[in-house]
């Protein structure tokens, strides 16, 4: 569509390329006549500059500097009437043109300047007019698609048809890829390599509004030529309608997600009484639940503490959204039916058993959970703890699995620390310990043993309670405790002695140690009591 240097040579049959053949695909935007040795200062880019060579007739080698300057200022080519004032183009000038891929064209001396200017400008103007008409047609085509409610897939079909080039759209909002064309390489790269590698390898056009990038249009790079203006115009029009379409999808998704969340939350809080009601509501979202369900919770470690300690919470919110998006993407890729809702700093999944035995299903749940934890650790500033409840045959009993998954996270953090996957049915005696931690007698028992040291820390602004926690965590090994806390061993020995004195206990006695360990576990498992103790500290 655009006029190239090679088209200009074709238009005038007796024009010949003297040097810079590698630049024949440069775009010609206008024609100019050389009337001063520093004409390059007035170049704006894309000019085909024509000269008789009169200014350089006494020293033709000056053409070398002219070629360099024209190239630097973006001119398209230089046409010179060889045989008028300059008989032969110096070899050094030819070599410069070849080195810079800057075309130097032989113009027969009998051509008047108007014989060159008028046809070239006429073709350029006609080309621009045709380009405008085609751009308008393309704009109307894409606008009509929006009016008709066509989706991203339809938009990509039309874009591929207009461009005639293999193209892909990577949708970052809904994690979908739309690939059009016959290139196996493009398909394999888009589906199998990371986004950074794709952006480095291909032409990429971000589909974005303000700082929000919805996705990228991807085209294969060509060694022969760059994209023409009309290609770029087409991509711009397509990008505009893709933005509108994605915004519409986001709006529809948010509305639907709100009602889906209400349904899932009703399930997990036992607010649905009959299987018929559950199935009817599931059908509204295209869900047909034929097998039992398991609840899996991905809970961000220490999120609330960091959230409360910072004034600017936007970065934390972005991290949370990134973690939830990663977890959701991983679960959807591995399970056919996987429904989710978000609870504060947790994302709750209800996963339907699809194939294999229940044992195989739980193995896969645990494997995917481990993959989620590793990816979060690699791509986020946080870690996550994951809890998995038991398998429930009936959809209206899935609330049991939800409660168990919550307990698995809390118990698992207390017993095994953070950044772990915990299956409720594997927690054994700790499940009973958790139920015990909720009783008032357990609170009284903890206060009886821990109140003295908590009150002492408050009155003296000391950290004996934290030291005690760390000692117990390290199985009462004072040397390991000193290393973990970066405190001298003798200081830890002194603190241990002081703790025994404050609590009036012999913590070298196995029975007394057990009581303290038991208290700390009970306190950590009971969120209500743990919060109470923290406020006192």
DSSP letters spanning 36-77:
STTGGGG--SSEEEEE-SGGGTT-TTHHHHHHHHHHHTT--E
Tokens of 471: 């000692």
- Cα–Cα distance list, 111 to 28, 55, 67, 84, 456 (Å): 19, 18, 22, 11, 103
Query: Distance between CA 502 and CA 18 in Å, rounded?
Result: 97
> Tell me: the pLDDT tens digits for 47-80?
889 998 888 888 888 899 999 999 999 999 999 9
pLDDT at 229 over 50: yes
Rank 166-170, 413-417, 428-432, 447-451 by mean pLDDT and report only the highest: 166-170
pLDDT one-digit tens code per residue, 393-407: 999 999 999 999 998
Domains of the chain (ranges plus CATH)? 5-111 (3.40.1390.20), 135-250 (3.30.450.40), 270-427 (3.30.70.270), 435-535 (1.10.10.2840)
Instruction: Indicate whether 466 pLDDT > 60.
Output: yes
488 vs 222, residue with greater confidence? 488
- Read off the pLDDT band of 197 (50, 70, 90): confident
What mean pLDDT comes out for the span 160-167?
86
Over range 303-310, report the average pLDDT: 70
**How big is the chain by its Cα radius of gyration, in Å?**
36
Q: For residues 481 and 467, is the Cβ–Cβ distance under 8 A?
A: yes
């Amino acid at each position: 569509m655009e006029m190239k240097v090679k088209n200009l040579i074709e238009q005038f049959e007796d024009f010949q390329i003297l040097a810079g053949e590698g630049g024949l695909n440069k775009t010609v935007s206008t024609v100019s006549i050389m009337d001063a040795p520093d004409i390059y200062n007035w170049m704006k880019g894309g000019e085909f500059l024509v000269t008789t060579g009169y200014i350089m007739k006494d020293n033709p080698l000056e053409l070398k500097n002219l070629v360099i300057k024209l190239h630097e200022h973006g001119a398209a080519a230089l046409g010179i009437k060889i045989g008028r004032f300059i008989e032969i183009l110096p070899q050094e000038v030819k070599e410069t043109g070849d080195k810079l891929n800057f075309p130097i064209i032989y113009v027969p001396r009998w051509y008047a300047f108007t014989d060159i200017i008028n046809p070239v400008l006429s073709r350029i103007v006609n080309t621009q007019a045709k380009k405008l008409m085609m751009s308008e047609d393309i704009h109307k085509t894409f606008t009509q698609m929006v009016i008709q409610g066509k989706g991203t897939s339809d938009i990509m079909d039309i874009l591929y048809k207009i461009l005639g080039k293999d193209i892909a759209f990577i949708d970052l909002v809904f994690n979908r890829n739309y690939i059009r064309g016959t290139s196996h390489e493009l398909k394999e790269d888009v589906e199998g390599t990371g986004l950074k590698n794709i952006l480095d390898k291909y032409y990429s056009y971000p589909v974005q509004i303000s700082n929000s990038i919805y996705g990228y249009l991807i085209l294969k790079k060509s060694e022969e030529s760059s994209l023409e203006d009309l290609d770029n115009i087409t991509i711009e029009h397509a990008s505009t309608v893709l933005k509108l379409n994605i915004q519409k999808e986001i709006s529809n998704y948010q509305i639907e997600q709100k009602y889906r969340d209400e349904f899932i939350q009703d399930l997990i809080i036992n607010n649905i009484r009959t299987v018929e009601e559950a199935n009817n509501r599931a059908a509204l979202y295209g869900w047909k639940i034929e097998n039992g369900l398991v609840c899996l919770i991905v809970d961000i470690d220490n999120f609330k503490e960091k959230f409360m300690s910072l004034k600017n919470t936007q970065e934390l919110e972005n991290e949370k959204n990134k973690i939830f998006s990663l977890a959701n993407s991983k679960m959807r890729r591995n399970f056919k039916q996987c429904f989710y809702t978000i609870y504060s700093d947790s994302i709750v999944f209800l996963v339907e058993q699809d194939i294999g035995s229940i044992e195989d299903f739980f193995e896969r749940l645990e494997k995917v959970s481990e993959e989620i934890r590793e990816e979060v650790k690699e791509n986020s500033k946080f870690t996550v703890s994951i809890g998995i409840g038991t398998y429930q045959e009936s959809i209206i009993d899935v609330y049991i699995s939800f409660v168990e998954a919550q307990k698995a996270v809390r118990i698992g953090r207390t017993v095994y620390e953070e950044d772990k996957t915990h299956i409720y049915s594997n927690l054994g005696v700790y499940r009973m310990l958790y139920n015990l931690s909720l009783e008032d007698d357990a609170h009284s028992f903890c206060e009886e043993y821990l109140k003295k040291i908590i009150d002492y820390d408050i009155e003296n602004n000391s950290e004996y309670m934290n030291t005690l926690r760390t000692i117990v965590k390290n199985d009462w090994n004072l040397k390991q405790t000193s290393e973990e806390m970066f405190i001298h061993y003798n200081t830890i020995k002194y603190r241990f002695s002081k703790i025994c004195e404050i609590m009036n206990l012999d913590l070298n006695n196995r029975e007394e140690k057990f009581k303290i360990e038991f208290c700390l576990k009970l306190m950590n498992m009971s969120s209500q009591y743990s919060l109470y103790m923290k406020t006192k500290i």
